[in-house]
Every structure is written in C-alpha cells, then in structure tokens.
Chain A
Amino acid sequence: MKIRTLLGAALLASSMLVAGAASAKSLVYCSEGSPENFTPSVNTTGTSFDAARPVYNRLVQFTPGTTQVEPGLAESWTVSEDGKTITFKLRPGVKFHSGVNGFTPTRDLNAEDVIWSFERQWKADHPYAKVSGGSYDYFNDMGMPDLLESVTKGDDDMTVVIKLTKPNAPIIANLAMDFAAIHSAEYAKYLMDKGTPEQFDQIPVGTGSFQFVAYQKDAVIRFKAFDGWAGKPKIDDLVYAITPDATARYAKLKANECQVMIAPNPADLPDMKQNADINVMEQAGLNIGYYALNAQKPPFDKPEVRKAIAMAIDRDAIIKEVYQGAGQKAKNPIPPTMWSYDESTVDIPYDPAKAKEMLKAAGVEGLKTDIWWMPVQRPYNPNAKRMAEMIQADLAKVGIEATLVSYEWGEYRKRMQAGEHQTGMLGWTGDNGDPDNFLAVLLGCNAEGKPNGNNIPKWCNAEFQEVVNKAAEISDQAERAKLYKRAQEIVAAEVPWVNIAHSTVFEPLRKSVTGYKVSPLGAHEFQNVDITE
C-alpha cells in the first residue's frame, strides 16, 4: 500500500501519516462521540477528555487503573507547614510534540508553560482567555479562583510555586484532573502570531505519549506514537473510531475493526463473555446512582418516611433489570473502592410490609408524589426511565401513587437543583477519588444552612456539615477518614436519599490487547497498551 500525503494545511505539515502501513502496530478504540475540541479545560464531557488525553500530561497524574496520585510533569512536590504553599519541581528534558500544525518547539517544558496553562483559565485578561468561548467550567467548579492566591516561577525555570488562600487537602488530586493539563505556551504564541488562535483548541500540541495527526467530526481521530518523557508507547498508531451506537461498537469489536470499546449494552455482556476473542474487563466505578427525596417538601422532611420509602424499593430487582447485573447495591453515598468507605453501615432491607407500617405510623396515607427521571443514559444509571417505572410500581405497593416526570437534560438538572421535584433520580461520578468530592459536593450546605446546588435531596444537617468542613482542611488522611466515617453514619441514620447502586464499568477488548487498565474514573488511556498479532 502506498504512502499518501493528505490534503489540508494541517495535514500537509504532519506528512508522516502512513495509510495502513503493514509494519505499524495500530490500535483502534471505538469511542462513543465526537469531542467538542481538544482542550480539556474548556470541556466538561468524558468524551472530550478521552479525546485529548493521549496528547497531554498534568503536573501529577492518576496511576492507571487507580485513583492514586503519582508524579507527572512534576518530579516531586513539597507542601509548606501551614498547608498554603505547594512547590513543584518540574521534570527536566520534557519535549513537546513537533511537526503538528507546522509548529516546531524550540525549548523543553518549563515553568512558563505551567503558569500559562493556569492563567488562561484564571485571568480574564489572558490573551487566550476568550478563545473558544472562554468557559473554564471545571476550573471554576473546583473552586480554583477562590482557592488560588498565585501561581509563580520559583527559584529557577523548573520550579513552580502555587500559593493557596487556605489549606485544602484535595488540591493535589484536583491537579491530576484533565482540566489541569499543561499546554505549550510557545505553541500558543506561535498561533497567536499567525492570527489563528482558535486552532489551539482544534489541533492540540502537548507532551503526552501520542501526538495528534488528524480528526474528522463524527468519524475518526488519529494519533501516532511520540517518544517523549514517559518513553515510546508500544503501539505506533492510535485511532479513535467514533461510533455512537453500542450495537455498532460491538459489531466492530467482533469483526476486529476495533480492539477496545467503550460502554457496552449491559444486555449484550453475556454474549460478549462467551466470545472466545473478547475479554470483558470490569472495575467498580467510582460513582453513585441515587434516588433523592426532597427534604424540604413534606412528608419527606421526616427521616422515618424517607427510611420507609427506601425500604419499599426493591433494589435487587433494579440491579438486575436496569443495571443487568452490572452494578453493586449501594449502602453508602460513596463507592466502596474509595478510602474512608464505612463497611459497618447496615443496609436498609427490602421490606414493603414494614414500610407500609412505618408510613402509617408517620401518618402518611394516600400520598401522591412525583418521580423525576433523567432523559439520558449516564454511567451511574444506564436506564433511568426503566428505573422510574420500577420504583413507581414499588411505591404503588405501599400505597403511594407516583407520576413520572422528565425534562430535557439541561432543564432537568436546573429544575432539580432549584428543588422543584419531590422525589427524583440523579447520580455522580467522582473526579479525583477524594471523599470530599462526593460528601461535601452532593450533600453539603452553605454557611447559612442553605443546600448547595448539587444537593438534590435539599437536606441540611449541622453536624454533617461541620464534620465535612473540618475534613477538607486537614491533610492527615487517617484523621480525615475518621471524620468521613462519622459523616456516613449520619447519612445512614437520616436517609436523605435512597442509595441505589454503584455501577460497574465494563470494557470489552480483544484478547490480543495487553496492558490495558480500566480506570475507575472513567478515563481511557493507551500509554502502556500493547497489541499482539
């Protein structure tokens, strides 16, 4: 097969592309959708993060397959006594991708790149602040503008000093998240001089193990191996085949048209497991799917009513029919793979008879309510509509008549955050493996005792709040774990929501693929993956 150079300015520059060269090892990953662009800081979806991940690194990173933080572009870091100053020592000799979009780097990574990457998201007068819509949602949502005092160069070019306004234990884990990817300040300047800054987010340049080659919307993204600081990856070409339909992804996997696929239909898993060429990997997801009871609307303000409802719902049946077995019944709001998980919590049993009694004792009779269900499929809830129909049938058995309600996804969240629902389902996937990212975000209230936006049960508890606030400010993990266990006890007694399930993440791949790790954070990484013919 002949070598072709491709049309288009971007591609001419990267004329290394070889179509189907026989000797090259290529791995095809069947992904689910098109990325919005290739800059993680302006995105919020896992699909876009996955598409940019081969290109970039962060100061620190999650060890593949875990939520442990390990050094990335920073070789090491030290935290000051008061917990407010973090000094990162950058890895020397880190190279940026060369030849992408006509750009050739003249220097290795240094503090300027790190500062550039944070300031773009932080400072409104940054030359790139407004490029691609200028919306840095993760940076803002993680509270960075309030938390950061300064990001400056240290004693030399290879030291970065981050000063915080207050001590914050989860900050290191936060910096391992995608939004904190480190970009090339030199590439940014190159494009600015050329007058095409918007290309910065379309044609990415980074330090990652793969460099960008080409992208066709709704079709394919191509990368090739880059011999960078982490060593040359074992595969030569990495291809994302964008395939939105799960059935189609499975067909491609069977035909060896792709070797790894995302998000199989739970119903197809038994068939996959029987296929001799396919390996179905699984990992407990770092997530929770819950059914919230609005504590500001009677009778759900009474803990015993909430507990009775939890008792009326047949969660085993839900796990079977909605998750098709690909989930684990939840008893705590945080997943069991997370540190500080409280094993001692006694789960609420399924007991409709007792639930009925308890409701009667609480004076609840002939209750009419609503059940809100999400219009979309999420990792923590593969089929909210089906779940809603099942919960509706369960509640009918204890004399509660419920109508189903749904809105378009954005509208749905907005109304739920405003507390318009009586009962409804939602969930959460962890960003960084820290319990604070679940407990404080999902059940926290502000200083005036008003629930946070993401507090869907609209439940506030003074003791819980105190415990969680304290845990965020100390850095000793054992001490923090104790506090979070106490928080879980309070939740177990109060039942602000019905814990439904922690879904299991399944990743079917060809048996020829080795070294692949399923990430509990939902990331897809191919750095250490090899393929045998």
Chain B
Amino acid sequence: MPSDLTATAAPAPPGPLRAFWRAFRGNRGAVMGLVVVSLIFFVAIFASVLAPHDPLEQFRGFSKLPPFWVKGSDPRFLLGTDAVGRDMLSRLMYGARVSLFIGLAVMVVSMLAGVALGLAAAFFGGLVDVLIIRVMDLIMAIPSLVLAILIIAIIGPNLTNTIVAVTIVGLPRYVRLVRASALAELTKDYVTAAKVSGVRKFRLMTVTVLPNCLAPLIVQAALGLSDAILEAAGLGFLGLGAQPPTPEWGAMLADTRDLMISHPWVMAFPGLAILTTVLAINLMGDGLRDALDPRLRRS
C-alpha cells in the first residue's frame, strides 16, 4: 500500500513505487534473488505439470538411484530416487510447494497478528502494553526450537500445526517492530494533527499510522519468510513437521539419514533445495531493505 493514500501525510515523493524499483534494480544480488525466488514459485505452482512423475509413486526395484551424471543412474530419474524408489526431482518440486506454503502462511498470519498486537500495545499503552511485551519477552527467552517442539508435542505433528508453532515462535519480532515504529510515528506532528482534528482511534491506528510503519514491516516479512522455511525444515528434520508421505524437504532429509554414507545424494538434494530457497529469499530481502529504506539495518 503506497503511503500517499493518506491525505494527512507529508507530501510523498512522486512515484514511490518507481523509485523503489529503480533502487532495487540497481542491486544485482537482489535481482538474482528475485529471479530465483520467482523460478521456485513457478515450479511450486506448476509442480503438477512440470514434475516428471507422481511424487508419491514408488518405483519398486529402482530405489536409491544416483543423479544423472553419476554412474549407475537411470535417465528416467534425473536426480535419482529416494529410499523407496520415488523420483527425487518430482519430490523436490512438490516440496517447494509445501515449504513455500508454510513460509507464506506463517508470514501472513504473523503479519496480521503482529500488526494487531503491536498497534494495540503502542496505542493503549499501560497494562495492555506491559502484558503484550512481557508475553513476547517470554517467548523470546525460550530457545525457539525448544518452544516449537513443545508446542508441536501438545498439538500433534502435522502441516497446520507446524505453521502454528513457527508463527508463535517468530511473532515477537513482528510485534516489537510494529510497536516500536508505531511509537515513533505517534510523536510526529501529522499524528497530533490528526488527533486534534478528531480522527477516531481505530482509524488513526490503521489508516494514519500503519502505512507509515510498512517499510520495515515488509522487510521483516521477507526475512520472516526465509526464517519460517528454515524453522519448519528443522522441525521436519526432527520428525515433527509435515507427516509422510508429504514431500517436505526437512523430512526428506531426516528420512534418509541412515543412507547418509552409503547413498549421500539422497541426503544432499533436499538440503540444497532448502539452502537455495532461503538464500534467494534473503538476497531479495536485502535488496528490498536497501531500496525501501537504506537506514534500516538487520542483524
């Protein structure tokens, strides 16, 4: 949402979107990241068309084949097959769908919840603020993976619950960010002006202040996407994510741990897929940050 929708805001420079794109385009890494991310999205969306095989079909007698450039491979299975003879390439493609779905779902839910809680903390202050911030501190004090595992242990392992757990664990960052930027905006003149002119509280929060906090939030969302994918893969690796036979990258990796020495390929590919996806999203996120607000720093 471009910030010039609000009449009360200071005059925005003309064409912020174009300015943003110009800045983004100048960053080679970011463009590369964008290309790779688009490609992965493309593969994920059209997996059913692109994949050479059904990701669940087990080709008995063709298990643990190496990729095409290694001796002993089968041309029908470009990247080889897994422990029960399923096509690795097809599973990786469908796996992109699972991982991106988890990542996006976590991102959207975190954004919504983060904005709601963060704004509430900033506006109401007092007890509400203290309560929200304390709870967020609590979540941050427990190592993320331990907390996620505990949540999964309670609600049971499956795809939806992975999203719930990863969202809860990552929520504090969104809340704190929204709260901090909203508090900063609240001291500014345009907010005071809006208050004086009698804008209602809810409207003030959503229409006046929120759009001006969006830049850091978008950057956080991009980084949150990659974090969520990593976190979900970690849970999958511990057997607490998507359940079999869903082709989830972390679970694919864990499933073949016993083949690590005898058939390293089966383990190598899912990890590479995770690394590539997360790396591309992070490249893009860096570019986004630099283009939106060069002052924003990230750890």
Contact present between A and B (CB < 8 A):
yes
Report which A residues bind B (CB closer than 8 A).
246-247, 250, 265-268, 270-271, 314, 317, 320-321, 375, 382-383, 385-386, 388-390, 392-393, 404, 406, 408
Q: How far is the CA of A320 from the CA of B57 in the complex (A)?
A: 17
Chain B nearest Cβ from A309, distance in angstroms: 18
Given A385-B255, A393-B58, A271-B261 contact (CB < 8 Å): yes
- Assess whether B239 is in contact with A386, with CB atoms less than 8 Å apart: no
Q: Are A383 and B258 in contact (CB under 8 A)?
A: yes
- Are the CB atoms of A321 and B83 closer together than 8 Å? yes
Contacts of B255 in A (CB 8 A): 385-386
Which B residues lie within 8 Å of A406 (CB)? 243
A527 CA / B245 CA spacing, docked (Å): 46
Q: A375-B239, A393-B58 are in contact. Are A268 and B261 (CB under 8 A)?
A: yes
Given A321-B63, A404-B243, A406-B243, check contact A389 B262 (CB 8 Å). Answer: no
**B261 pairs with A265, CB closer than 8 A:** yes
B245 contact set on A, CB distance < 8 A: 389, 392, 404
Indicate whether B259 reaches chain A with its CB closer than 8 angstroms: yes
**Would A267 and B263 count as touching, CB distance under 8 A?**
yes
Residues in chain B near residue A392, CB distance under 8 A: 245
Contact with A along B236-280 (1 / 0, CB 8 A): 000100011100000000010011111100000000000000000
Using known A-B contacts A314-B60, A321-B63, A321-B84, determine if residue A389 contacts B260 with beta carbons closer than 8 Å.
Answer: no
Query: Chain A contacts of B83 at CB under 8 A?
Result: 321, 386
Which residues, 67 to 99 on B, are CB-close (under 8 Å) to A? Answer: 83-85
Can you report 24 residue pairs joining A to B where beta carbons are below 8 Å apart? A247-B260, A250-B261, A265-B262, A267-B258, A267-B259, A267-B261, A267-B262, A268-B262, A270-B262, A271-B261, A271-B262, A321-B84, A321-B85, A375-B239, A385-B244, A386-B83, A386-B84, A388-B244, A390-B58, A390-B84, A393-B56, A393-B58, A393-B84, A408-B153
Q: Which residues on B sit within 8 Å (CB–CB) of A385?
A: 244, 255
CA distance A386 to B60 in the complex (A): 13
Cα distance, A266 to B262, chains bound together (Å): 10
Which of the listed residues B63, B83, B260, B263 has the most CB atoms from chain A within 10 Å of its own CB?
B83
Which residue on A lies nearest to B254, using beta carbons?
A385
Residues of B within 8 A of A404 (CB): 243-245
Number of interface residues of B (CB under 8 A): 21
- CB proximity to A under 8 Å, residues B217-245: 239, 243-245
**Chain A residue with Cβ nearest B245:** A389
Interchain nearest-CB distance for A284 vs B (Å):
22
CA–CA, A266 to B261, complex, Å? Answer: 11
- With A271-B262, A385-B255, A404-B244 known, 8 other A-B pairs at CB within 8 A are A265-B262, A267-B259, A267-B263, A321-B84, A386-B84, A386-B255, A388-B244, A389-B245
The interface centre, meaning the residue of B255, B261, B263 with most chain A CB atoms within 10 A of its CB, is: B261
Q: What chain B residues lie within 8 Å of A383 (beta carbons)?
A: 258
Which residues of B from 185 to 223 have beta carbons under 8 Å from A?
none
Q: Is the CB of B84 within 8 A of A246?
A: no
Give residues 31-89 of B contacting A (CB, 8 Å). 56-58, 60-61, 63, 83-85
| Chain A interface helix/strand/loop/mixed | helix
A393 to B272, CA, bound (A): 27
Contacts of A390 in B (CB 8 A): 58, 84
Closest to A392 in B: B245
Chain B residues contacting A246 (CB-CB under 8 Å) are 258
- A46 CA to B61 CA, complexed, in Å: 35
Smallest CB gap from A245: residue in B? B257
Kindly provide the distance from the CB of B22 to the nearest chain A CB, expressed in whole angstroms: 50
Bound state CA distance, A148 and B83, in angstroms?
50
Chain A residues positioned under 8 Å from B61 (CB to CB): 317
* Cβ contacts B98-118/A at 8 Å (1 or 0 each): 000000000000000000000
Complex Cα spacing A250 to B245, Å: 30
Interface residues of B in 130-158 (CB under 8 A from A): 153
Bound complex: CA A382 to CA B255 (Å): 12
Give the 7 A-B CB pairs with smallest separation, nearest first: A267-B262, A393-B58, A265-B258, A317-B60, A389-B245, A267-B259, A389-B244
A300 to chain B, nearest CB (A): 22
Nearest Cβ on chain A to B45's Cβ, whole angstroms: 26
Give CA–CA (A266, B256) in the complex, Å: 12
Expressed in whole angstroms, the Cα–Cα distance for A119 and B243 within the complex equals 47
How many angstroms from the CA of A389 to the CA of B247 in the assembled complex?
Answer: 12
Residues in A whose Cβ lies below 8 Å from that of B60: 314, 317
A267 to B63, CA, bound (A): 12
Q: Give Cα distance in the complex from A389 to B245, angstroms.
A: 6
Beta-carbon nearest neighbor of B243 in chain A: A404
